Amino acid sequence: MSYFDVASSAPLHPVARQALIAALDEGWADPARLHREGRRARLLLDAARETAADAVGCRPDELIFTPSGTRAVHLGVAGVRAARRRVGSRVVVSAVEHSSVLHAAGDDAAEVPVDRFGRVDPAVFAGALTADTALAALQSANHEVGTVQPVAEAAEACRAAGVPLLVDAAQSLGWGPVDGDWSLLTASAHKWGGPAGVGLLAVRKGTRFAPQDPADERESGRSPGFENIPAVLAAAASLRAVRAEAAEGGLRLSALVDRIRARVPALVPDVEVVGDPVRRLPHVVTFSCLYVDGEALLHELDRAGFSVSSGSSCTSGTLTPSHVLRAMGVLSEGNVRVSLGAGATEEEVERFLGVLPGVVSSVRERLGAPGAASAAAPGAGPVVVDALGKRCPIPVIELAKVIGGVPVGGTVTVLSDDAAARLDIPAWCGMRGQEYLGEERRERGSAYGVRRLV
Amino acid sequence: MSYFDVASSAPLHPVARQALIAALDEGWADPARLHREGRRARLLLDAARETAADAVGCRPDELIFTPSGTRAVHLGVAGVRAARRRVGSRVVVSAVEHSSVLHAAGDDAAEVPVDRFGRVDPAVFAGALTADTALAALQSANHEVGTVQPVAEAAEACRAAGVPLLVDAAQSLGWGPVDGDWSLLTASAHKWGGPAGVGLLAVRKGTRFAPQDPADERESGRSPGFENIPAVLAAAASLRAVRAEAAEGGLRLSALVDRIRARVPALVPDVEVVGDPVRRLPHVVTFSCLYVDGEALLHELDRAGFSVSSGSSCTSGTLTPSHVLRAMGVLSEGNVRVSLGAGATEEEVERFLGVLPGVVSSVRERLGAPGAASAAAPGAGPVVVDALGKRCPIPVIELAKVIGGVPVGGTVTVLSDDAAARLDIPAWCGMRGQEYLGEERRERGSAYGVRRLV
């Protein structure tokens, strides 16, 4: 078995395991109590905070532990918004933030777009910072495609505009501290091999902050609930440990990712590798396979011994493609994210590259995907493909099947009520050199126009 | 060392330890993922939910895991209040609820008083349920004095009034399920020997509930953040284990508590044992020692090898006595809560009873506390004791020192700006058979009047 999904959750680092088990016997008492068990727990909590603050690059009294990265984001966003209520209610976020940030920011947040690599333009980000902006948020690196964001530039712009910047560092903190003069930083221990149950929230001195949860004396009044000291200790110890291994491990994994980025398009036809090829996390690579059902692909890879994740619509509860892929404007069908753990080997990656072409072609075959150039019923006039009620990747497969029968210059209209079609039909046109004519809403679904150019 | 503070936090139960360590290797993956590690995590989470729901006495789909008991309370209160906004905003609580409940209910909550045992009168509780009451909350048992509340009667009254009842079962769930037709129940695993990082929130089907945190798909959308599956499994396994031991262990500890309740007043002069002597938790006993500084007492007991906690003002960050003792109207100075773990032995309890008298008398001696009957400067007219700036138990000690010099029928006025005086001067009068004349606010502090009767 090869577990290639550490960006979702990493197995426990040996140092975390050791620290956690040791602290089960030492850190179970209430650190607010005056007796020796309480004092011992308090010492352990203080030590964990020192270690974690050192790795984050902040003062211990600027750092609190939360029960998860999600809670760190929620508490951070709520605390700043409330403290800056008089300034305004506007929240600026990148369009590719983690869902915890987007949900905390709310539906009326101002979303800064990204390029096809998933990267924010710092000038555009700076331009979004109006006088009534309460808070801005930019991830250090994207969780789905690995693209590193220009956080230092964004932080500088935020300082100039007097807007606090929250950096969601969930995917990058194990690799190194976040550069730049940010105001808030959040992270999640289980992403770097720490245990579940631990998030970090750093709030720089001078950042106006008003906790919104009911009063509670724990964690400087900023994160209610009994402290999870064994987990917090394990989180801090493993953060220090993975940092010590980061430089060497990063180079090794980055080379493996480069190999996947180069080889997958050569091995598998009709694949788009997405995300920034250079400014990226060392261990994450994402690609999308035309005419492939993401869920089927995941299952086949799982059967072949590889655990990966996907941003395809069919793998989400809502049947909509990942908002990250959507914001990037890239193909979402047959999407695969590979995120390598520290122990990933060249052999595993080679085995993956060996298995992938057969897996993709078997899924395509089952779906009746078109070959390199397929012929279909010719005919005069516009061709309409009725894919209503059909899910990704069927609408694109149907389109690809008929386009060969349409004369160059002729059009195909695809009727679809699948959310992924909005992303995948234009993406297919881009990959195939055809012209995308746009979308027209219908009573049920939409009509997508395509003109054959080649 | 004897750890007599399990009501704050219990050491990890061996079953919890074993389950937690086993699950570190099995339950670290994201249960929302489709790969085998994710599916395995999901199975473990489902199994933990089944076990915990069985112990709570609800359906698995009525139960969610939260990161702490405090979070369970906060989420439960917020969810019901929001869903019942149109009914009204009134929240009814007992005056002796845990601070997490009181803070979530807010300053304008309607507090139902308790008797000197700390017990709510179910008829009074029922009377507080007005037509605009959104939510009522009553603990199953009090965390400071162990008094068991009439939850089943309160739940019946709530059903009749159409008001959902939230039961904070943090102190009692390890001993057994909560009787009665409650609507919501909360608990905290580290109170029964489970790990930190796990709370329970049960919301009965049919209870209107609207989660207020930012959207998150975890835990039925009711508790945001990555699930802590190893801890949740350990919590569920240990709950089942402590329940299997509860009947026998409860009898044993209850007998030890009875021994403490009977012997402490015999061994130590001027002690008030507080809390219901019969309708109580098996393992908790609380008493207050006149003329004693709670913090000094804790430290001396700690040096003698006993870890206990205290509701005295000097042991709290705010320098106010416990709101529970205040609501009961009992002495708060020199307060000690003993809460026995499953492993507590008769020998430990005997050793505690052997040590306590010397510890109390040494603290009293150091503070210059009066003997059985002390004489002080006699004089005609009213006597005024200026104890401004002096902390508990000094104002009461000063009062006790002068009362002997006042003729029967004469009065003493104590000036004090210490929050504990409001509770402890009337309590002293009650214990000593003197008449408490009341409090008069002054520019600084208050003047407390006492008439000598005996």
Quick check: B28 and A10 CB within 8 A? yes
Chain B residues lying within 8 Å of A196, measured CB to CB:
28, 226-231
Q: How many C-beta atoms surround the C-beta of residue B179 within 10 A?
A: 14
User: Please, what are the averages of pLDDT over each run of 10 residues along chain B (454 residues)?
Assistant: 96 97 94 95 98 98 98 98 97 98 97 98 98 98 98 98 98 97 98 98 98 93 96 98 97 98 97 97 97 94 97 83 95 96 97 98 92 53 90 94 93 95 95 95 96 95
Task: Give the per-residue pLDDT at B317.
Answer: 77
The amino acid sitting at B344 is A
3-state secondary structure of B388: coil
Q: What is the pLDDT of residues A195-218, one digit of tens each?
A: 999 999 999 999 999 999 999 999
The amino acid sitting at A277 is P
Q: Which residues pair with B285 in a beta bridge?
A: B338
Contact of A305 with chain B, judged by CB distance below 8 Å, is answered with no
* Alpha carbon of A341: minimum distance to chain B alpha carbons (Å): 13
Quick check: A29 and B228 CB within 8 A? no
- What residues 45-104 of chain A have any CB closer than 8 A to a CB of chain B? 67-71, 74, 77, 99-100, 103-104
- A28's torsion region: left (phi>0), alpha (psi -120 to 50) or beta? alpha
Distances (CA, A) of B375 to B360, B378, B387, B403: 22, 8, 19, 8
Residues of A acting as catalytic residues: 314
- What residues 94-153 of chain B have any CB closer than 8 A to a CB of chain A? 99-100, 103-104, 106
Contact of A166 with chain B, judged by CB distance below 8 Å, is answered with no
Task: Give the per-residue pLDDT at A373.
Answer: 46
Cα distance between residue A41 and residue A21, in whole Å: 14
Compare CB distances from B33 to A1, A8, A227 and report the shortest one's residue: A8
Q: What angle do CA A192, A349, A147 make, to 5 degrees?
A: 50
Cα distance between residue B418 and residue B392, in whole Å: 7
Cβ neighbours for B111, distance < 8 A, ≥ 6 positions apart: B93, B94, B95, B327
Mean pLDDT score across all residues of chain A: 95
DSSP 8-class letter at B381? S
* Alpha carbon of B201: minimum distance to chain A alpha carbons (Å): 14
Q: Which residue of A has its CA nearest to B230?
A: A196
Q: What is the pLDDT of residues A100-138, one digit of tens each?
A: 999 999 999 999 999 999 999 999 999 999 999 999 999
Q: Which residues pair with A141 in a beta bridge?
A: A148
Task: Give the per-residue pLDDT at B316.
Answer: 79
Which segments of A273-412 does DSSP mark as H helices, in order? Answer: 294-303, 323-328, 346-367, 394-403
Task: Give the per-residue pLDDT at B314.
Answer: 82
Is A280's pLDDT higher than 60? yes
Which of B65, B68, B233 to substitute to test the interface with A, most A CBs within 10 Å? Answer: B68
Half-sphere exposure of A99 toward its Cβ, with a 13 Å CA cutoff? 13
Cα distance between residue B5 and residue B399, in whole Å: 32
Quick check: A196 and B70 CB within 8 A? no
Domains in chain A: ranges and CATH: 8-242 (3.40.640.10), 245-367 (3.90.1150.10), 383-451 (3.30.110.40)
- Token digits of residue A291: 């005419």
Q: DSSP of A80-124, one letter per residue?
A: HHHHTTTT--EEEEETT--HHHHHHH-TTPEEEPB-TTS-B-HHH
Query: Which residue pairs, CB below 8 angstroms and at least 24 apart, start in B277-281?
Result: B277/B117, B279/B117, B279/B119, B279/B147, B279/B148, B280/B141, B280/B145, B280/B146, B280/B147, B280/B148, B281/B141, B281/B146, B281/B148, B281/B171, B281/B172, B281/B175
Q: Which residue of A has its CA nearest to B296?
A: A34
* Alpha carbon of B51: minimum distance to chain A alpha carbons (Å): 20
Quick check: A103 and B228 CB within 8 A? no
* Alpha carbon of A53: minimum distance to chain B alpha carbons (Å): 21
Cα distance between residue A27 and residue B195, in whole Å: 10
Backbone angles phi, psi at B440, to 5 degrees: -125, 120
Least confident stretch, A379-393, A440-454, B41-55, B435-449: A379-393
Compare CB distances from B3 to A20, A37, A315 and report the shortest one's residue: A37
Contact of B299 with chain A, judged by CB distance below 8 Å, is answered with yes
Contact of B37 with chain A, judged by CB distance below 8 Å, is answered with yes
- Token digits of residue A452: 């054959």
Q: What is the pLDDT of residues A310-331, one digit of tens each?
A: 998 888 777 889 999 999 999 9
Q: DSSP of A142-186, one letter per residue?
A: -TTT-BBP-HHHHHHHHHHHT--EEEE-TTTTTT-PPPS--SEEE
Contact between A152 and A120 under an 8 Å Cβ cutoff? The reply is: no
Q: A110-112 and A133-137 as β-strands: parallel, antiparallel, unpaired? A: unpaired
* Alpha carbon of B154: minimum distance to chain A alpha carbons (Å): 25
* Alpha carbon of A25: minimum distance to chain B alpha carbons (Å): 8
Contact between A421 and A392 under an 8 Å Cβ cutoff? The reply is: yes
Chain B residues lying within 8 Å of A5, measured CB to CB:
29-30, 33, 35, 37-38
Distances (CA, A) of A91 to A80, A138, B93, B320: 10, 11, 37, 40
Compare CB distances from B5 to A33, A104, A310 and report the shortest one's residue: A33
- What residues 216-275 of chain A have any CB closer than 8 A to a CB of chain B? 216-218, 224-231
Quick check: A35 and B5 CB within 8 A? yes
Cα distance between residue B68 and residue A150, in whole Å: 36
Centroid of chain to Cα A8: 9
Compare CB distances from A196 to B103, B226, B309 and report the shortest one's residue: B226
Which segments of A173-303 does DSSP mark as H helices, in order? Answer: 229-267, 294-303
Which segments of A329-420 does DSSP mark as H helices, in order? Answer: 346-367, 394-403
Nearest CA to B169 out of B323, B58, B308 is that of B58
Task: Give the per-residue pLDDT at B410.
Answer: 94
Quick check: B196 and A11 CB within 8 A? no
Chain B residues lying within 8 Å of A299, measured CB to CB:
34
Distances (CA, A) of A358 to A192, A296, A311, B211, B224: 32, 13, 21, 45, 39
Quick check: A298 and B21 CB within 8 A? no
